[in-house]
Amino acid sequence: MKKALRVAVACLLAGSMLSISACSDDKPEPGPSKSAELTGVAAIIAQAEGMTNAELFQKAIEESNGKVMRGIGNSSRGATAATAFIAELQKIDPSYNGTIEWNQPKNNSIFTTLNADITSATHTYSMTLIQDGNQIQTKMINTGNLLNFIPKEWKEAAGVDVAANGTPLALQTLSKVFMFNNLDASASYSNVWDFVKEGSAPMFMGVNSEPVGKNFLYMLTEPTYAGYVKEAFDKLPAAEQAYFQKTDDEVAGDVEGLGLEGENAKYALAWIKLWVTQYNEKTDDGPICNELVTTSAAGQSALIVYSKLRSVEESATASAKNVTIAAYQDGYAGFGGYGYKHYLMIPKTSPLPWTAAAFIAFMTTYPDGFAAWGKDIGGYSANPAVNQDHSKDGFVDGVDTYPVKNDKGYDWWTSADGGRLILEDPEYAARVSANLSDWIDVAANS
């Protein structure tokens, strides 16, 4: 009985202490509940982010030996990178016989394909290389269907900008730049407003057929980039300012309703309105480039992927010599084009998450992992250590034969003192697209 009494008193005292503790201002913050703990693929990613490449590669070998990992991406070059990755794993373990199958869906169907796979009873895709920051944010990140993985060795590499390229993780930035056929000396493109002046019709892929082009227009309203547009406007001759001012005034009243910020937003909207009502819509950048370099395209202009110049076949009627990169001109005003990104992410239902993480680490930290994309001008890894130098790609036998191909590199293209690319930001694009998308479509048909 005495023992029972002691136990009862102890329990009462313990209860009193808990009650006092609950009323104290100094009580500790409660820890995370078990329901908030990471599980499944998310837990593996959290663990993988603290591992070296060597540790990740060993995990991949253990997980996928004798198996097939399936990836899906907007770029077919993922298959080339996959071959190099398998070879790297076989250096570590010659008996490793896992494989990677790469799928590239057409017509912007990657979001539908991924969502169908994630919500199905069985799951196919372990990782993705995906573009279009707006849809990635709204359909994949906000829903939790795709998870972000930041490799430890990428994060710690010299020159990596984690804030700009880590959420979501960017494999690379691709540049679409303004260029023009220089065979007509009377055609001048020394200011970004020249591409929307009366009579100008630059060749460009339709903004609703290639969503990254519409993201470019969303991003143009961001205060820093709108400032580039206004600065270029201020450098125009008075007569040209007066011409464009009419459109500036027409759209000024739309700024607040669209939820835009900054005193220069109306200039961005004016440029956008003129652009969508005047550009010459084409189906693909390859044919645009092939047309622009011809002698019959004198004076024409375009906004296309910079790397398309790599495939120009020189002839009597076509040459890369016939083209000038607008931003490479001394005194050019405004912005030189835009940059969109390829992002690497892991579905929350990834069947082989360790192998996916290891493959992502390989593509972002090994020269061989990025080589499939880095071999061309106009594509820049988020890790400077694996980028190739293309500053003299236009040289032939030591002679600067095709200056247009001498890429000035990511740092120059993204600098306020250089090419001033309009860079995609998924969060900003997603925030303004809800209102701005319809506004652009209406403007295009006005």
Instruction: Say whether both 149 and 218 belong to one domain.
Output: no
**Do 348 and 333 sit in the same domain of this protein?**
no
Burial group, residue 187, by CB count within 10 angstroms (0-12, 13-18, 19+): middle
Co-location of 278 and 179 in the same domain: yes
- Closest C-alpha to 337, from 220, 235, 443: 220
Name the CA dihedral angle for 308, 313, 315, 318, rounded to a multiple of 10 degrees: -20
Residue 64 domain flag = yes
- Regarding whether 95 and 221 lie in a shared domain, the answer is no
Q: 52 with 90, same domain? A: yes
Q: Are residues 285 and 183 in the same domain?
A: yes
**Category of 397 on φ-ψ map: left (φ > 0), alpha (ψ -120 to 50) or beta:** left
What CATH number should be reported for the domain holding residue 376? Answer: 3.40.190.10
Residues 303 and 315 in one domain: yes
Decide: 203 and 304 in contact? Cβ < 8 Å.
Answer: yes
191 forms beta bridges with 333
Verify that 306 and 349 share a domain, yes or no.
no
In a domain, 125, yes or no: yes
Number of compact structural domains in the chain: 2
**Helices and strands per DSSP (H, E), number in the chain:** 17, 14
Q: Mind listing the pLDDT tens digit of every residue in the chain (446 residues)?
A: 333 434 343 433 333 333 323 333 333 333 333 345 899 999 999 999 999 999 999 999 999 999 999 999 999 999 999 999 999 999 999 999 999 999 999 878 999 999 999 999 999 999 999 999 999 999 999 999 999 999 999 999 999 999 999 999 999 999 999 999 999 999 999 999 999 999 999 999 999 999 999 999 999 999 999 999 999 999 999 999 999 999 999 999 999 999 999 999 999 999 999 999 999 999 999 999 999 999 999 999 999 999 999 999 999 999 999 999 999 999 999 999 999 999 999 999 999 999 999 999 999 999 999 999 999 999 999 999 999 999 999 999 999 999 999 999 999 999 999 999 999 999 999 999 999 999 999 999 98
Q: Which domain holds residue 257?
A: 174-338+417-444
Q: Can you give the pTM of this predicted structure?
A: 0.90
The answer to whether residues 190 and 306 belong to one domain is: yes
| Residue 63 φ/ψ, nearest 5 degrees | -80, -40
Asked whether residue 30 is assigned to any structural domain, the reply reads no
67 and 207 housed in the same domain: no
**Same-domain check for residues 291 and 166:** no
Same domain for 323 and 223: yes
Alpha-carbon span 343 to 279, nearest angstrom: 28
